[in-house]
Amino acid sequence: MPDPNAQRYDAIVVGGGPAGVSAAITMAREGLEVILIERGRFAGAKNFFGGVMYTRALAEVLPDFQARKPPWERPVTEQGYWMLAPGSVVRFMHASQAYRQDPADAYTVLRARFDPWFAQQAVDLGALVVPKTTVVALIEDADGRVIGVRTDRPAGEVFAPIVILAEGVNNLLTQRHGLAKADLPPRFVALSVKQYIGLPAKEVSARFGLAGTQEGLAIDIFGDATLGLPGTAFLYTDKAGISIGVGLLLEEFVKHGLPPYAVLERFKRHPIVAPYLEGGEALEYGAHLIPEQGYDRMPELVADGVLVAGDAAGMVDALHREGTNLAMLAGKLAGETAVMAHRAGDFSARSLGHYRRALEQSFVLKDLKQYRRMTDFLDRSPHFMGTYSGLVNDAALRYFTAHDRPKREMEREIVGLLRDRRGFFGVAQDLYQLVRGMRG
């Protein structure tokens, strides 16, 4: 029997990231007594991402979020891709009036500022947020139902009829409870390294041609940025600084013996990139794992007394650099499921199955299902980013240079490039794989 003096709550949330905080907000607003346990010094201390936060999922969790003054860096008013080759770039950027709404669809944020703000909203709505405490185990009853958690502190047991695991990519509790198989193999985990480079706000605006801090850029970069390996680099404008980073499958770092910081440093020294960063001061350096195992390798999301959400559940859409929005919506749905379970007084996996069904009807599992083959695509076409970025740049150079010779010659040369580098059959194969990857 549990200790009668032990702490009891209506729900326990493990982890103070977007999924956990969204779940806590949802449940606290419905009057549940919620305790959220976070291992970092504060919610967000351990959190890290490239830098773009989408507001639609946030609005699902906190409809009045804008009135609560989130610490936005800049709205994303222009976004797109750079295809980088040594010494050159082809830019594919999109700016639109549609990006200039208030609230904007996407903002750049620094997690060290955003996450504490987000957690504070949960506190304001009545949730209890306990930092500096690690949950080391789930407590089960004789039938294997989860009834609480054990933390790494003295007198550290807490009981509740439902536990929401939003523990992040290192999902040890999810694994120990048998919901996830084991640590993800390195081919299904990306490692992203990033620097936040401080520059005066005016300087950031001037370098990227932005009118002020009401405008911002989000650029994903392929090709030479990752030495042509399957992965992406990114460059986002913050209020007074730039977030710059690279992400590769962990396997690639291992296979090529590349230290992550060296890949980032090389990217920062690229002649197209370096001038944007000049004179800036690296204020933050961090690295984080991103679960990219895809739909087919996601853990079980539901068991008796427990739900899994966010990175812990592999809810990342790598293709669209989305994750926090999936996590927020999943957290909200987990919270709603917990509220329903309380009303029904039933915390069995069967009752909690509502969570899985709600996710399947949302974009979270629909998108993950659609892009279920993306990882396989990158696996089979590792040259994709590198080869085509180089090609596009070489073609552009020929196209835009005045050679004083017939244009037909130039056109033939460009087609020749395609044939030599990849072969027409290879191109057809890549296109087929890409479409397959996108269509699911």
CB 117: neighbour CB atoms within 10 A? 18
Backbone angles phi, psi at 359, to 5 degrees: -65, -40
CA–CA separation, 294 vs 292, rounded Å?
Answer: 5
Report, in Å, the least distance between residue 133 CB and another protein: 6
Using rule CB under 8 A, residue 152 touches another protein = yes
Using rule CB under 8 A, residue 137 touches another protein = no
From the list 7, 120, 170, 429, which residue makes contact with another protein (rule: CB under 8 A)?
Answer: 7
Using rule CB under 8 A, residue 265 touches another protein = no
Using rule CB under 8 A, residue 132 touches another protein = yes
Which amino acid makes up residue 192? S
Report, in Å, the least distance between residue 245 CB and another protein: 20
- H/E segment holding residue 147: strand 146-151
Backbone angles phi, psi at 349, to 5 degrees: -55, -35
Contact 271, 87 (CB under 8 A): yes
Of 69-77, 128-136, 176-184, 236-244, which segment contacts another protein by CB under 8 A? 128-136
Strands 306-308 and 302-303 turn out to be antiparallel
Using rule CB under 8 A, residue 165 touches another protein = no
Using rule CB under 8 A, residue 153 touches another protein = yes
Number of residues near another protein (by CB under 8 A): 18
Using rule CB under 8 A, residue 440 touches another protein = no
Backbone angles phi, psi at 312, to 5 degrees: -60, -30
Using rule CB under 8 A, residue 129 touches another protein = yes
Report, in Å, the least distance between residue 33 CB and another protein: 11
Contact 250, 186 (CB under 8 A): yes
CA–CA separation, 278 vs 405, rounded Å?
Answer: 39
Using rule CB under 8 A, residue 350 touches another protein = no
Using rule CB under 8 A, residue 4 touches another protein = no
Using rule CB under 8 A, residue 130 touches another protein = yes
Instruction: Give the x/- contact pattern for another protein in 314-333, rule: CB under 8 A.
Output: --------------------
From the list 133, 175, 348, 362, which residue makes contact with another protein (rule: CB under 8 A)?
Answer: 133
Report, in Å, the least distance between residue 220 CB and another protein: 28
- H/E segment holding residue 198: strand 189-198
Report, in Å, the least distance between residue 64 CB and another protein: 23
From the list 98, 283, 344, 415, which residue makes contact with another protein (rule: CB under 8 A)?
Answer: 283
Using rule CB under 8 A, residue 103 touches another protein = no
The order of strands in the sheet holding 7-8 is: 7-8, 157-159, 146-151, 135-140
Within 16-45, which residues bind another protein (CB under 8 A)? 35
Contact 196, 283 (CB under 8 A): yes
Which amino acid makes up residue 333? L
Instruction: Give the x/- contact pattern for another protein in 40-79, rule: CB under 8 A.
Output: ----------------------------------------
Backbone angles phi, psi at 380, to 5 degrees: -85, -20
> Directed axis angle between helix 424-439 and helix 384-400, to 10°?
120
CB 145: neighbour CB atoms within 10 A? 17
* Residue ranges binding another protein (CB under 8 A): 7, 35, 123, 128-133, 151-158, 283
